[in-house]
Amino acid sequence: MTAPTRTAPDHGSRSARSSQELIRAEESSLAHNYHPLPVVVARAEGVWVEDVEGRRYLDMLAGYSALNFGHRHPELIAAAHRQLDELTLTSRAFHNDRLAGFAEGLAELTGLGMVLPMNTGAEAVESAIKVARKWAYEVKGVAPDQATIVVAADNFHGRTTTIVSFSSDPTAREGFGPFAPGFRVVPYNDLAAMEAAIDETTAAVLIEPIQGEAGVIIPDDGYLRGVRELTRRTGVLFIADEIQSGLGRTGTTLAVDHESVRPDVLTLGKALGGGIVPVSAVVADREVLGVLRPGEHGSTFGGNPLSAAVGTAVVDLLRTGEFQRRAAELGEVLGDGLARLTGKGVVGYRCRGLWAGVDVDPALGTGREVSERLMGEGILVKDTHGSTIRLAPPLTITREELESSLAALEKVLG
Ligand SMILES: *Cc1c(COP(=O)(O)O)cnc(C)c1O
C-alpha cells in the first residue's frame, strides 16, 4: 500500500476548521458516548490515515477490524463505485440482482447453507438470538417463551437493550434496565460451567471464539472443539460471534478454523462491509435459518444492492486466501515483537494472527495514556480495559510498517 503522497493540507470546504475547533464542536454537539483520541482524520489510504493538518498516522486499530483490507481498498472502492452507478436500494419488497451472488459467495466461504443479511453487528446478534429461539420452539420443542441462551462472562456482542442484558460489564449495563430474561452467563473457557448451565430449555450457546473487547482473550486449545461436542451432544445450537474475529483477522477465514470447528450459526459484520458500508449477516445451516418465514424478521436496508456488491467483493478478496496468509505470517512478526517487549513494559500479551491484546505495566500508565503516547509517535491504537491495548492493523500492513509500530511501542514504554 502506498501512503498518501500529499503533504500540504488540502482543506477544501469540508475541513476548513482545525482539528482543535472540530473536536470542540463535536464535544458540544455530539452525545458523549465515546472518548476518542484527539485526532481528526480527514483522508486515508491503505494502513495510513491523515488528519486535518496533514499529519500522517499508521492505523493499528483498523476500525475494530472493520478495515481488515485497509482504507479504500481499490477493488472494494471500484465495486462500490460501479454499484452506485447502477442501483443502491430496493428494500426486500423486491429482489435485487446483487443479493443472490452475495449469499452464494458467503455460504460457500463459510461452509454453511443460508444467509440472513443485516447491517450492523448488533443486529446480526439480535437476529441470531431470534432464530435460535424460533428453532428451539419449532424444532427442539422447548415450551413457549421458556428458551434460554448460554453466554460467556466478559462477552461483547453489541449495545442493544437485549444484548446489554447479558453483558457482565457494569458500564454497558448500569442505567439501562430492565433487562431481557432468558440468558445464562457462565465463565469463558470453562466447559464444565457451560455444561452445567445447559438444560432442556437451552436453545443455544453464544460465544466469541476469541473475546475481542475483553482484551483479545484466546481460549485454551480444545475449548471450541469442546463447545462443538457439548452442544451437539445436548441438542443445542452453537452460535459463534465472529464479527470481530472473522474474515481473515486471525490468519484463517474464521477464528473457529483454528480448531477445525463448524458452528451451527455464525454472526459476521465489521470487515464484511469492506470499510465502506455497514454489512452484517447471520450465516447458518438450512435447518436453522429455514425456520424464518415472511414477516417474522427483516430490515429495510439489510441486503441492499450496494451492501451486497461490497460484501461480494469482500468475499472475493477472501477467496484468494492472500489476506489470511498475510495475517498468519505477519502474526508471527507481531508475536515475536511482543515477546521481545515482555518484561520491558509489557507484562503480558495474547496474539493470534494480526490481532493482539497487550497488557502494559500499569506503572507506565493506563491503556489510554499509552495510546496517547503512541499517537505522538504516529501510531493509532485503542485501549480496551485498564492497561490493555489492542493491536489490529489492516491485513495489508507490510512487515516494515508492523516493525516500525513495534519500535514505537518499545519507545513509549521505555
Ligand atoms: C463489534 C462487535 C459487535 C457489534 O457490532 P456493531 O456493528 O458495532 O453493532 C458484536 N460482536 C462482536 C464480537 C463485536 O466485536
- Of the pLDDT bands very low, low, confident and very high (cuts 50, 70, 90), residue 1 is very low
| Ligand 1 atom at shortest distance from the alpha carbon of 122 | 9
Cβ of 393 less than 6 Å from ligand 1? no
Q: What is the mean pLDDT of the chain?
A: 96
What is the distance in A from the centroid of ligand 1 to the CA of 86? 30
Query: 184 pLDDT exceeds 70?
Result: yes
Candidate list 51, 59, 134, 156, residue with the active-site label: 156
Mean pLDDT (whole number) for 16-45: 96
130 catalytic? Reply is no
Burial 29-64 (b: 16+ CB within 10 A, else e): eeeeeeeebebbbbbbbbbbbbbbeeeebbbbbbbb
Provide the pLDDT for residue 279.
Answer: 98
pLDDT of residue 15: 60
Which protein residue's CA is at the shortest distance from atom 7 of ligand 1? 121
- With a 6 Å cutoff on the Cβ, whether 273 touches ligand 1 is no
Spacing, Cα 63 to ligand 1 middle (Å)? 11
Polymer length in residues for the chain: 414
Q: Is the CB of 246 under 6 A from ligand 1?
A: no
Q: Which atom of ligand 1 is nearest to the CA of 242?
A: 13
What is the rounded distance in angstroms from the CA atom of residue 69 to the CA atom of residue 74?
10
**pLDDT at res. 386:** 87
Regarding the beta carbon of 121 and ligand 1, being less than 6 Å apart is answered yes
Atom of ligand 1 minimally distant from the CA of 123: 9
Answer yes or no: 241 catalytic: yes
Report the pLDDT value the prediction gives residue 11, as an integer from 0 to 100.
47
The reply to whether ligand 1 has any atom less than 6 angstroms from the CB of 120 is: yes
**Among 228, 275, 213, 219, residue whose Cα is nearest residue 247:** 275
The arithmetic mean of pLDDT across residues 53-58, rounded, is 97
Instruction: With residue 322 as reference, give the H or E element that holds it.
Output: helix 322-341
pLDDT of the residue at 16 = 87
**pLDDT of res. 35:** 94
pLDDT digits (tens, 9 = 90+) for 372-387: 999 999 999 999 888 9
Is residue 208 lining ligand 1, measured as CB closer than 6 Å? yes
Tell me the mean pLDDT in the region 62-70: 98
Residues 353/326, Cβ–Cβ less than 8 Å: no
Is residue 13 very low, low, confident or very high in pLDDT (cuts 50, 70, 90)?
A: low
Domains and CATH numbers, the chain: 93-319 (3.40.640.10)
270 is annotated as an active-site residue: yes
Residue 414: CB atoms within 10 A of its CB come to 9
Decide whether any atom of ligand 1 lies within 6 Å of the 268 Cβ: no
Residue 223 CA to ligand 1 center (angstroms) comes to: 22
Question: How far does the centroid of ligand 1 lie from the alpha carbon of residue 268, in Å?
Answer: 9
Note the pLDDT of residue 385.
Answer: 85
Query: Looking at ligand 1, which atom is closest to the CA of residue 159?
Result: 9
User: In the chain, pLDDT over 70 holds for what percent of residues?
Assistant: 96
Whether 2 shows a pLDDT value over 70: the answer reads no
Contacts for 152 with CB less than 8 Å, ≥ 6 apart: 185, 186, 187, 188, 189, 207, 208, 211
Of ligand 1's atoms, which has the minimum distance to the CA of residue 244? Answer: 15
Please report the pLDDT score of residue 42 as a whole number: 97
CA 327/CA 330 separation, integer angstroms: 5
**Cell numbers for 328:** 498468519
Mean pLDDT of 378-398: 95
